[in-house]
Chains A and B, each alone.
Chain A
C-alpha cells in the first residue's frame, strides 16, 4: 500500500511550555482507515491540526501526497478534508451555502451538482435551505462532513466524530465512513473509544502524552487489548486454589473470598464453561460472578511499561 501521509519526527511544544507531541513518525497508506486512539489530551487533535495547517509544528515534517504541508501547503491542503471535533457552523447560514463556500475556499470552481450529490449522500438535501442553528447535533456533524468533502479530498480527517453522540448516531457515522472508504478516501479518525476503533479501522495507532506508543493492524491489537477478567466471589473462602483448577492460572485474593480468571475475548474459546464446571466439581459454591475489561488507561500503562 503506497503511503499518502508521511509524518516524520513531529514535535509540538505550545507557548505555555506544554509538550503536546514528541517525535511522532507515522506512515499512513492510501485508502486505509487509521484510528488514532488515545485518552483526552493525548495529542491526537494537535497531530491532526498540524497536518491540516491549523497548528505550527515545533519540529519535524509532514507530507501529504508527497507535498510538504508547510512549504507546499497549497498542494497538500487541496488533498485534505477536515471535520473538526467541535460543532462549529455559522448559525445563520444554510447547509447549501456553507458547503458551497467550502468548495470555493479550497479552490474548486462552483459546481452545484457536486454539492447536491454530497448533501444527498449525507441525507442533508431536504435540509439544504434550513438555517444551521435549527439542525440537530447529528445533522450539524454531517454538514461539517459535507463541507470537508465539498472539494473531493483524497484524505479525510475526522476528529472525534462520535464524541458526545448517542449510539444510533454513532452507527450512522460509521456507515458514512464505510461509504467513503468504498470510494477510496483515506480516513484518519481520532477516538478514545476502543469499540469505535474496533468497528471501523484497518490499523490503530495508540497515542498517549504526545508519544506514539504503537501502530498495529487492528486484529493483532485487539488480541492484545481484548483481555477480560472473570471475578468469582465464593460463598466460603478457600484456603488455596484446588489443584484441579491449576490449568486456569487463577489469582486468589488474600482473604480467599475471590478468584480471578483472565481470558481472551478474541480467542476461539474463552474457557469459562470449563472453569465453571471444574469449580463445581472442586466443591466450591459461587456467590457472585462478574466480568471486567481492562480499561484504556490500564492498557496505556501496560504499553508504556512494555516499551521501557
Chain B
C-alpha cells in the first residue's frame, strides 16, 4: 500500500477545497440557509406539523441530503475530470499507485468535504429550528455512507464524462430531481396513492427516509430497507469503478 500517495492525493484535493473556500463551502451553506428562511420560517409557519415535527425541522434532514449528495457528486467528478481535461492525469497513471489508492485519495477527499458541509449545515439549521437527534450514531453513519457512496458515483461520472456539459448533466438533471422528489420537503404519506408507489422507485427516498429516522424516529420506509439500499448502491459503484480501472476505460488506451 502506497500510503504516501494516498496522503498526497488527499491533501492536494483538500488544499483545493480550502483555496476555493467561498465556492466550495460558503455557497452551499448560504443557499441552504435561504431554504430555511423561506421554507422553515416564512412558509413553514403556515404549514401544519408533519409526523408531529414542525415543518421547519422536518425538512432539515432532506436539505442536508440535498446538499451532501449534489456536493459529493460534483466534487468527486470534478476532482478526477479536471486532471483528465488538462492532461495531468498522465502522472497519476505513471505513478506507483494502485487503483484502490487513487480511489481512496480522491473519493476520500470529496467525501470529507461534503461531510464537513453537511455538518456545517446541520449546525446552521440549529439556529433556525429546534432540532432533535434521536439516533446520533445512525445519523453520522447515514451521513458518512451517503457522502462516500455518492462521491464514488461522482468519481465514476468524472471518468465517464467527455466534456464539461456531461459533467454538469448528471448532478443537475438526475441528482437534483431525485432528491426533490425523494421526500426532502414532504413525507411520502402526503402524496396521492399512485405517486406514493412511483416514489418507491426513487433510490434517494430510502436515503432521506433513513436519515430522517435518525433525527425524529419516524420513517417513510423501514430503516433496514434504507440501509440495504445504500449498501447496494455503494457496492454497485465500487463494482463499476473496479471495472473502469481494470479495462482502463477512458483512462488508458
Give the B-binding residues of A (Cβ under 8 A): 14-15, 52-56, 73-78, 80, 82, 84, 86, 88-92, 97, 100-110, 147
Give the A-binding residues of B (Cβ under 8 A): 2, 4-5, 7-9, 11-12, 15, 19, 82-83, 86-88, 90-98, 248, 252-253
Q: In the assembled complex, how far is the CB of residue A106 from the closest CB belonging to chain B, in whole angstroms?
A: 6
Which residues on the A side are within 8 Å of B91 (C-beta)? Answer: 82, 102, 105, 147
* A-B interface pairs (CB < 8 A), number: 80
Q: Given A15-B253, A55-B252, A56-B248: A105 and B90 within 8 A (CB)?
A: no
The answer to whether B15 touches A105 (Cβ under 8 A) is no
Contact of A82 among B19, B82, B90 (CB under 8 A): B90
Instruction: Please classify the interface of chain B as helix (H, G, I), strand (E, B), loop, or mixed, using the class held by over half of its residues.
Output: helix
Contact of B90 among A54, A74, A104 (CB under 8 A): A54
The answer to whether B86 touches A109 (Cβ under 8 A) is no
Contact of B252 among A56, A73, A104, A110 (CB under 8 A): A56
The answer to whether A53 touches B12 (Cβ under 8 A) is no
Contact of B94 among A77, A100, A101 (CB under 8 A): A77
A52 to B86 alpha-carbon distance, docked (Å): 19
A54 to B89 alpha-carbon distance, docked (Å): 9
The answer to whether A106 touches B12 (Cβ under 8 A) is no
The answer to whether A54 touches B93 (Cβ under 8 A) is yes
Q: Given A52-B94, A54-B94, A77-B94: A107 and B253 within 8 A (CB)?
A: no
Nearest residue, chain B, Cβ from A74? B96
Q: Given A55-B252, A90-B88: A105 and B8 within 8 A (CB)?
A: yes
The answer to whether B94 touches A107 (Cβ under 8 A) is no
A86 to B88 alpha-carbon distance, docked (Å): 10
Q: Given A88-B88, A97-B12: A106 and B248 within 8 A (CB)?
A: no
Q: Given A73-B96, A88-B87, A109-B4: A56 and B253 within 8 A (CB)?
A: yes
The answer to whether A78 touches B96 (Cβ under 8 A) is yes
Q: In the assembled complex, how far is the CB of residue A150 from the closest CB belonging to chain B, in whole angstroms?
A: 10
Q: In the assembled complex, how far is the CB of residue B158 from the closest CB belonging to chain A, in whole angstroms?
A: 15
The answer to whether B15 touches A97 (Cβ under 8 A) is yes
Which residues on the A side are within 8 Å of B11 (C-beta)? Answer: 104
Which residues on the A side are within 8 Å of B92 (C-beta)? Answer: 105
| Top 8 A-B pairs, shortest CB-CB distance | A104-B8, A88-B87, A77-B96, A52-B94, A74-B96, A105-B95, A107-B2, A54-B93
Q: Given A54-B93, A74-B96, A77-B94: A105 and B9 within 8 A (CB)?
A: yes
Which residues on the A side are within 8 Å of B252 (C-beta)? Answer: 54-56
Q: In the assembled complex, how far is the CB of residue B139 from the closest CB belonging to chain A, in whole angstroms?
A: 34
The answer to whether B96 touches A104 (Cβ under 8 A) is no
The answer to whether A107 touches B90 (Cβ under 8 A) is no
Q: In the assembled complex, how far is the CB of residue B83 from the closest CB belonging to chain A, in whole angstroms?
A: 8
Q: In the assembled complex, how far is the CB of residue A255 from the closest CB belonging to chain B, in whole angstroms?
A: 53
Q: In the assembled complex, how far is the CB of residue A157 from the closest CB belonging to chain B, in whole angstroms?
A: 9
